[in-house]
Amino acid sequence: MDFIGALPPSLDDKSFALTVQDTFTKWPEVYTFSKAPGTGPTGEDVIEALMDTIARHGMIDETITDKGSHFVNEAMREVTAKLLIKHTTTSPMHPQANGLIERFNRTLKDWINPYLNKEQTNWDKVIPLALYAYRTTEHESTGFTPFKMLYGREAVHPSSTARLVARNAEPIDVKEAVELIKEGLQAVHKKARETMSKKKQQAAEREKDLPAPRQFQEGDRVRIYNDQVPKGLSRKLASPWRTVGIVQEKKGPVTYKVRVCGDQKARTINVDRLKRAPPPEDEEAPPPEDGIDVKESDLRRDRRQTVFNQGAFLSPGQESVLKEFVLQEDPVPTARMWRASEATFDPIAHDPSLRDVQPDQRFERGDRYEVEQVIGKRTHRGKVQYKLKWRWYPLSHATWEDEENLTCTELVQEYENSENVPDLDEHASLFPALYFVVRVRHVKELSREHTVKVTRLDKEGIQIQYLSEPTRTKRQKKESLVGRKQTIPLASFLRNYQWERESDDPTVSAPSGGTA
């Protein structure tokens, strides 16, 4: 179960919708409620919808909801206890744990959107039509429509010939009809279970190819992803990782119980919204060895982390520096980084005046924005702009700023000087202009292999030139890829592509029409 709203008040003064969906048959129900402005749904609304569902479809075994007050309250606990219903709640800020109903909500909103009037006041009148369409559409996970999963037959549509046949058919024996429906339901449910089991196995196989989730121990200091911004602050400028907490215990394979600093109550949070935080100022970190301190396990600690392929076309020295560059998006803390960050970025550990302030406010008071590197230059609407990489923020958060607003003159001058130096040869630079010929495959299209030449490799990205058409492609060849060049960011290339060196002979010539 889940709520959609607050929605624009309808003509019948409805402002909230409660969606309910059966896990097995995928049959959905939607209940609408009227609420005064500024108020939300209550536990009584949920219980009313729950009892209506039970009255029409029978008792339920388990219900899955989030931890909203309208779902988690004394009245709801009493009803579920008396009816022997297991009430499971998802971890905060992790709607994927209730993905079935979240996906249905998205589909429902997409389907009713084209039929809304200008004021959006007829949404409650359009919902029944969307429900009919959903119930009579084949579901991918079962292979049948929710209507057939529930009733053992397909729905009779207005233009269906079954209506004419039924009018002229001879009367059928009731017992025979019951047996036919019973046998039909058994066959449909058996086939649906087989299909759902096959889908689960396919999902499990895909999970095996993904990196293992991050692991934390009791007492570890972590940052918590929180995209809610205090009133008056800009969402674009506020870091979503500003909240700091302490791991208390591991609740499940991918969930931890974390107590937020400054708060006595612990919350269960999914590992996708946690990352390791620097230790307090008085705790000395182990010194880094040989430059950047990177463990192999840290390189694979979640799905979004870069996975480095051994035996790639980079030399050991180039790969080491490339790791350091890419890891700036999600740096593995070193002693040097911790000492630098505690002084300017994280006042929580050592500022007594902030201990009584709420965690979000306390962080915002100490937050500063420091330019780490100038990575680009352009002229936009007659003004010179520089692209800035902010310290402690991923490369994707880099922004273009007007030259007149910059105070980092030394970094700007360093960038300008680097732009004017001549190109270095292969032995003088860790990022030379390589001309290796490699075979590449995207992780989502492993059956399509491209033969390409690397024509540029630097901090801006990898530029490749296609030397042949992809193998085993099913699409029509409307336009040849041979000779075309494409630039891919380093992090994206390492994260999403598999590659194998075919040749490192710089004498390999480019195809006609293309330049190396």
- Rg (the chain; Cα; Å): 29
- How many CB atoms within 10 Å of residue 320? 16
Per-residue pLDDT band at 408 (split at 50, 70, 90): confident
d(CA 237, CA 393): 10
Mean pLDDT, residues 428-444 taken together: 59
Position 170 scores a pLDDT of 61
Among residues 428, 499, 427, the alpha carbon closest in space to that of 462 is found at: 499
CB 502 within 8 A of CB 467: no
d(CA 198, CA 200): 5
The predicted-structure confidence for 79-132, as pLDDT tens digits, reads as follows 999 999 999 888 766 666 778 888 888 888 888 888 888 888 889 888 988 898
More confident residue, 174 or 238: 238
For the chain, domains (ranges, CATH) are: 2-135 (3.30.420.10), 221-365 (no CATH), 371-420 (2.40.50.40), 437-503 (no CATH)
The predicted-structure confidence for 286-340, as pLDDT tens digits, reads as follows 544 444 444 444 434 333 333 333 333 444 444 454 445 444 444 333 333 333 3
Query: Strands 274-276 and 86-89: what pairing?
Result: unpaired
Mean pLDDT, residues 203-220 taken together: 76
Among residues 203, 201, 183, the alpha carbon closest in space to that of 191 is found at: 183
3-state helix vs strand vs coil in the chain, percent to 5: 35, 20, 45
User: What six digits make up the tokens of 393?
Assistant: 């923020």
d(CA 123, CA 135): 18
Per-residue pLDDT band at 357 (split at 50, 70, 90): very low
- Per DSSP, the three-state class of 444 is coil
Helix axis angle for 123-135 and 99-112, nearest 10°, is: 120
The helix or strand, by DSSP H or E, that contains position 509, with its residue range, turns out to be none
d(CA 10, CA 16): 10
Q: For the whole model, what pTM was predicted?
A: 0.45
Which of 49-58, 65-74, 247-256, 298-307 shows the lowest mean pLDDT across its residues?
Answer: 298-307
d(CA 101, CA 65): 9
Omega of the bond prior to 6 within 30 degrees of 0, cis? yes
Query: Strands 16-21 and 274-276: what pairing?
Result: unpaired
Alpha carbon dihedral 373, 379, 380, 383, in 10-degree steps, equals 90
